[in-house]
Structures are given as structure tokens and as C-alpha cells.
């Protein structure tokens, strides 16, 4: 265990300061120096995973290759580090207690009284060390969700305190992310919230090694000295984290502040070589100096909270930068789209993406949007439910099945063009029971998807229950909606495309989940490229 170094990232003062971005940026810099790094997130809520949470509660649910439904921060980890995560990278209070109670029922504790200390904290630590014990990583970064002082976080903070004694000082480091607010009336930056936050950590027995201070104004040297003195942290370990133009600036900002060097020094690791970040700089240069600009409508029902579609928004950034094109996303609530409003809402856009989701709210607006873009040759991309809506729209307005629907929305429809898989029909629990994770797909060589991927076999991540109903496949294809991607084992339709259209592609899987800075997703690249070409014409 001691051969792996462990970094813990805690947060204070307020949530949403960006622990995930700081952890990802640090991981990025350490990997750029040649170290093998992974990041994990420990969430204090009692849900087993975020799979059953409303997106308004917690943003999008991110799915890994192994089918784990996880926190959206794992998306940041993958996008910044370009490495795959798994179930082991996201652990909740619910999972910890579930594991401990299962062991207790099995008799593993030999009749002892099961308590928070040591049983819950031991289970937390077992999960802290799990990835490090594989031998695959030199450094494991662990982000502790929530704020220091939250009642839910107490067992995790206590487990971090204990971990220091398990691991030894040179294998253990705590970074505390905090806020230095600026009071406009007084024209002053205030350190008191940070002092109180660190005091709470000290009361829990943890001395932070490095302070990362979020601020909208630069930290003067006297503020840094004050933080160093009052928080018992070395002066050069007080790190400034200013508001950034884009989250992808943060690794370079942390490099400038020498966060990676401070970490390596404290962990007694060699500064093998300066980080190789030229590719990252190139990406940023393309991102900030586009030669094209497009307006894309994202039609969904959670648009009031863009984090509900976080991976889609980031995939547009990656693909846009790759093509040196600025992508302006217009967030459109599907509930506002009607036959009367659709032209006014969509006519000025260069392309439309219809987003994933569950349930019937806003479904007719999505179908109306797809009818409009299909009939008016506006490039279209549908993901998961967006693809299913495209199938329903085509069945209604081209095949003439007026009551065509997904059986999720209308159990009485005579034409369930989207229907439950047989093995899903008897399931009553919602958590973790969908088709989840990575599945194989075979592409037809004549398809736009094949042109995008440049290979006939792909693996993509899924999160859904309902599928294209193959009883209607022959009629659909005869009328022009082709199944161009098929799961070779089940025969299930994964991709549909429309003939004679600038770009009309729907995928049952979630391509956005595999887009990273260094590997923008082929379908997003091909969608934006088609929009650029269509705009020229």
C-alpha cells in the first residue's frame, strides 16, 4: 500500500467551488510528468448511487464502461486525464453502509456491536485503498464530496484522519479547497471563512498540507501570509485559483501556481521532468481562436440546469475545438415547443440535438422539433430518448401510424415502435436495472456513423430500458430510416440514420460519455462538421 501515494481533496465554506476540476487539473499535471494517476469521488449522500436521482438534484448521472451510475465529477476525471473510470471510482455513504450491513447480516463481525468507528470508517478506508492496491497507479487522488462540517461528511473526514497513520506522512497529503470572498462595499478580500473552515478540519484532527483558494480577485502577498500564519500552512502552499474563462484553463493556472511541484515535494516524489502539456496548450489555442461559429439548439426537459447535460456540453467543446469552431448552445425546453412555436424557436439554428431523458414530460415537444428539422433539412443528432423520439416521429408522420409511441409513454398504443426488452418487463426496482455500460455495435459501411468512426466495430455506453422495436424495422427502412448500427449479440438497433438529409443520426447509446479533450467523440465531430458544410451551402 505504501508504494502508492494518496492525495485527499476536501472542501470548505461552500459547495460547488470546483473540487472535481482542481482534482482533475492536478491529475492532469501529474500524468503529464509521467505518473500513473486515478481519481475517485466519495459522496456523502445515502443513495447507493445517483442513478435514481432527478437531474435537478445532482446534475447528470455519468455512466462508466462497467455500467456504474456515478457522480458527474467522474466525467471531469475522464475528460481531463483521458483514462477510464469504473464503479471503484465512486463510492457513496449508501454503498458504505450497505456493505457493512450486508457483512453484519452474514455474521462477518462475529457478534460484535457494529459502530461508525471502526466498522464504517474501516469500510471507507478499504475503498480509499482499493484502486491503489491494484498496482496500476502511482498516485490516487480522492475527492471528498460536500463541505467540511456537514454532518454527512463526518465519517469520511475521520477516515481521512486515520489514513494518515495507516499510510505514513510521505504517502499522504490533504489539499483543502476554500473560498476567499471579495466584499465589494469594503473593497476587501476576506480570509475569515477559510480560517473557520480550516479550524473545523483541525478539530477533526486533520492539518491541510496545501490550501487552494478560489477567488474572483488575485491574492495579494499579505493575504497569502495571513492564510499561511492562521491556517498553519507553508506560504508557498497557499495556492491561488482565480475564476477561469474555461475549466480547461485550470491545469495551466495550477501549473503557474506550482501546485504539482508542491504536491511532488511533499510526497517525496521526483520531479521527473516538466509536464508535457503542449497538446493541452494546442487544444486551448484552437478553443479560443475559432475560425467558424455555429448555433446549436439543445432540446431537453432539464435545460434550466445545464449540469443535467454536462457531458453533452463538454463534448461540443471538444469537437468544436478540434474543428476550430465555436459552438454556441441554445438551451431549449422541450415543453415550450409546439406546432405553432417550433418554427420561431428553431429556424435560426444551424443544428439541433435532442437530448436524453426519462418520462413523458416534454416528449411531444421533442417529437415536434424532430419533425421540423427533418422536413427542413436542418442537421439533427438524437441521443437515447432523442433517437427514440426520432423513430416515433418517423412512424407517425412518414409511415402514417398516428398513435405510434414508446410504450414508456403510452402503454395502450397500437404501434409501440419503441418497447421494453423482454428481460425488463418484470423488473420493479429502478436502481441499476437498465441496460448499463459498454456494449458492442457493428456499423454499416455506407453509413455516416462509419464515416465518422472509420471502423466497423465500436463499443459505446448505454443507460436505458426501452429499445427500437424490430417488428417495425423493415417498414422503417423501406421508407428511408435505416438502422446503421446493430448490436451483434442481441440484434438490437443502436443507430438510425435518414437517407437524403444533410445529417440525421440518432444513437441509442450515449456518445457524449466517451468524449475527452484529447479524443473528441467522432459523432460530435461529424455532426458539427456537417453543420459547418450545410451552413456554407
> Which residue numbers are catalytic?
384, 510, 512
Collapsed DSSP state (helix, strand, coil) of residue 285: helix
- Is 151 annotated to bind a ligand? Reply is yes
- Is 357 annotated to bind a ligand? Reply is yes
- Is 385 annotated to bind a ligand? Reply is yes
Residue 118 preceded by cis peptide, ω within 30:
yes
Nearest to 357 by CA among 388, 329, 318: 388
- Is 388 annotated to bind a ligand? Reply is yes
- Contact (CB, 8 A) for 463 and 446: no
Q: Which residues pair with 418 in a beta bridge?
A: 406, 468
- Is 297 annotated to bind a ligand? Reply is no
Give helix then strand counts, H and E, for the chain.
18, 23
- Is 536 annotated to bind a ligand? Reply is no
Helix segments in 377-472, DSSP class H: 385-397, 448-453
- Is 20 annotated to bind a ligand? Reply is yes
Distance CA 109, CA 431 (A): 28
- Is 132 annotated to bind a ligand? Reply is no
Distance CA 393, CA 368 (A): 8
- Is 143 annotated to bind a ligand? Reply is yes
- Is 146 annotated to bind a ligand? Reply is no
- Is 150 annotated to bind a ligand? Reply is yes
Distance CA 192, CA 186 (A): 14
- Is 19 annotated to bind a ligand? Reply is yes
- Is 408 annotated to bind a ligand? Reply is yes
Secondary structure element (H or E) that encloses residue 21, with its range:
helix 19-32
How far CA 482 is from CA of 372, 457, 498, 506, in Å, comes to: 19, 18, 6, 10
In the chain, what are the helix, strand and coil shares in percent, each to the nearest 5? 45, 20, 35
Distance CA 149, CA 476 (A): 57
- Is 194 annotated to bind a ligand? Reply is yes
- Is 465 annotated to bind a ligand? Reply is yes
Q: Which residue has the cell 505514513?
A: 168
Collapsed DSSP state (helix, strand, coil) of residue 395: helix
- Is 192 annotated to bind a ligand? Reply is yes
Distance CA 88, CA 189 (A): 39
Terminal-to-terminal C-alpha distance of the chain: 60
> Distance from CA of residue 513 to its chain's centroid?
7
- Contact (CB, 8 A) for 88 and 42: no
- Is 343 annotated to bind a ligand? Reply is no
- Is 152 annotated to bind a ligand? Reply is yes
- Is 56 annotated to bind a ligand? Reply is yes
Residue 508 exposed, middle or buried by CB count within 10 Å (0-12, 13-18, 19+): buried
Beta-strand runs (E) in 334-411: 351-354, 380-383, 405-406
Which amino acids are annotated as binding site, given as ranges? 15-21, 56, 73, 143, 150-152, 190-195, 226, 244, 357, 385-388, 408, 465
Residue stretches of the annotated binding site for ATP = 16-21, 73, 244
| Binding residue positions for UTP | 15, 190-195, 226
Task: Write out the binding residues for CTP.
Answer: 15, 150-152, 190-195, 226
Please give the annotated binding residues for L-glutamine, written as ranges. Answer: 56, 357, 385-388, 408, 465
Positions at the binding site for Mg(2+): 73, 143
Amino acid at each position: 500500500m505504501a508504494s502508492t501515494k494518496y492525495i485527499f481533496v476536501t472542501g470548505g465554506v461552500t459547495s460547488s467551488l470546483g473540487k472535481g476540476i482542481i482534482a482533475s487539473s492536478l491529475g492532469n499535471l501529474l500524468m503529464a510528468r509521467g505518473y500513473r494517476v486515478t481519481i475517485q469521488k466519495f459522496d456523502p449522500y445515502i443513495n447507493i448511487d445517483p442513478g435514481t436521482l432527478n437531474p435537478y438534484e445532482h446534475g447528470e448521472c455519468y455512466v462508466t464502461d462497467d455500467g456504474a451510475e456515478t457522480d458527474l465529477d467522474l466525467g471531469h476525471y475522464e475528460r481531463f486525464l483521458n483514462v477510464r473510470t469504473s464503479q471503484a471510482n465512486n463510492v457513496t455513504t449508501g454503498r458504505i453502509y450497505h456493505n457493512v450491513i450486508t457483512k453484519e447480516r452474514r455474521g462477518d463481525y462475529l457478534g460484535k456491536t457494529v459502530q461508525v468507528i471502526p466498522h464504517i470508517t474501516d469500510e471507507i478506508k478499504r475503498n480509499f485503498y482499493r484502486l491503489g492496491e491494484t498496482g496500476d497507479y502511482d498516485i490516487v487522488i480522492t475527492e471528498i464530496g460536500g463541505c467540511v462540517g456537514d454532518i454527512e461528511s463526518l465519517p469520511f473526514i475521520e477516515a481521512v484522519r486515520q489514513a494518515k497513520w495507516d499510510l505514513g506522512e510521505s504517502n499522504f497529503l490533504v489539499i483543502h479547497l476554500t473560498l476567499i470572498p471579495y466584499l465589494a462595499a469594503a473593497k476587501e478580500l476576506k480570509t475569515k471563512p477559510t480560517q473557520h473552515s480550516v479550524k473545523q478540519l483541525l478539530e477533526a484532527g486533520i492539518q491541510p498540507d496545501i490550501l487552494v483558494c478560489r477567488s474572483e480577485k488575485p491574492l495579494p502577498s499579505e493575504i497569502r501570509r495571513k492564510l499561511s500564519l492562521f491556517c498553519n500552512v507553508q506560504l508557498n502552499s497557499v495556492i491561488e485559483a482565480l475564476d477561469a474563462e474555461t475549466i480547461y484553463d485550470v491545469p495551466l493556472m495550477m501549473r503557474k501556481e506550482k501546485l504539482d511541484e508542491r504536491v511532488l515535494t511533499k510526497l517525496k516524489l521526483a520531479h521527473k521532468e516538466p509536464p508535457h502539456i503542449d497538446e493541452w496548450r494546442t487544444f486551448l489555442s484552437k478553443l479560443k481562436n475559432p475560425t467558424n461559429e455555429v448555433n446549436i439548439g439543445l432540446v431537453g426537459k432539464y435545460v434550466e440546469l445545464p449540469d443535467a447535460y454536462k457531458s453533452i456540453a463538454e463534448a461540443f467543446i471538444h469537437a468544436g475545438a478540434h474543428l476550430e469552431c465555436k459552438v454556441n448552445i441554445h438551451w431549449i425546453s422541450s415543453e415550450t415547443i409546439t406546432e405553432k412555436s417550433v418554427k420561431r424557436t428553431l429556424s435560426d439554428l444551424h443544428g439541433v440535438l435532442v437530448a436524453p431523458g426519462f418520462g413523458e414530460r416534454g416528449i411531444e415537444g421533442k417529437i415536434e422539433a424532430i419533425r421540423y428539422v427533418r422536413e427542413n433539412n436542418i442537421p439533427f443528432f438524437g441521443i437515447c430518448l432523442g433517437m427514440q423520439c426520432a423513430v416515433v416521429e418517423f412512424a407517425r408522420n412518414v409511415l402514417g401510424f398516428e398513435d405510434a409511441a414508446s410504450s414508456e409513454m403510452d402503454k395502450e398504443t397500437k404501434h409501440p415502435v419503441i418497447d421494453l426488452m423482454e428481460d425488463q418487463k418484470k423488473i420493479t426496482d429502478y436502481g441499476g436495472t437498465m441496460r448499463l455500460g459498454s456494449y458492442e455495435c457493428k456499423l454499416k459501411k455506407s453509413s455516416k456513423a462509419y464515416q465518422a468512426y472509420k471502423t466497423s466495430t465500436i463499443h459505446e455506453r448505454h443507460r436505458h430500458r426501452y429499445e427500437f422495436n424490430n417488428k417495425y424495422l423493415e417498414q422503417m427502412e423501406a421508407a428511408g430510416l435505416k438502422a446503421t448500427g446493430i448490436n451483434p449479440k442481441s440484434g438490437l438497433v443502436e443507430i438510425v440514420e435518414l437517407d437524403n438529409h444533410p445529417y440525421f443520426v440518432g444513437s441509442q447509446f450515449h456518445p457524449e460519455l466517451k468524449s475527452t479533450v484529447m479524443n473528441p467523440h467522432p459523432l460530435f465531430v461529424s455532426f458539427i462538421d456537417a453543420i459547418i458544410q450545410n451552413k456554407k451551402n
